[in-house]
């Protein structure tokens, strides 16, 4: 059984007293992933909700959320959302989402 996947990454950077999100998108064959929340350019700190929209012609097997390269949640059913605590320090973080579908 093969699977295809897609991933997106948000770089969360320092801005005054909060964090700013910048979104970059990478798409692989068969699966499209985009961020619903947080919105690009949003200032965030502390606990946030991260939600991804996943579109695939096949069944989505799993969506894995990463914070600074470490997996923080594996979601197998929509809605694909998780609460992530960024802490109270004003520092750069990277949030990444990788979606995998059930291939043929």
**CA–CA dist 73, 94 (Å, integer):** 15
Tell me which architecture the domain covering 5-101 has in CATH. Sandwich (2.60)
Per-residue pLDDT of 60-90, as tens digits, reads 889 999 888 899 999 999 999 999 998 888 7
Q: Give the pLDDT band (50/70/90) at residue 29.
A: low
User: Does pLDDT of 16 surpass 70?
Assistant: no
Q: What is the pLDDT of residue 49?
A: 93
Write out the DSSP string of 3-55: --EEEEEEEEEEETTEEEEEEEEE-BTTEEEEEEESPTT-EE-SEEEEEEEEE
User: Does pLDDT of 20 surpass 80?
Assistant: no
**CA–CA dist 20, 43 (Å, integer):** 5
Q: What is the pLDDT of residue 15?
A: 39
């Amino acid at each position: 059984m093969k699977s295809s996947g897609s991933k997106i990454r948000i770089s969360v950077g320092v801005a005054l007293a909060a964090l700013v999100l910048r979104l970059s998108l990478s798409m692989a064959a068969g699966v499209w992933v985009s961020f619903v929340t947080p919105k690009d350019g949003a200032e965030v700190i502390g606990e946030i909700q991260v939600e991804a929209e996943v579109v695939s012609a096949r069944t989505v097997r799993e969506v894995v959320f990463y914070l600074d390269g470490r997996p923080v949640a594996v979601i197998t059913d929509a809605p694909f959302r998780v609460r992530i605590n960024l802490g109270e320090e004003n520092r750069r973080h990277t949030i990444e989402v990788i979606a995998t579908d059930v291939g043929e």
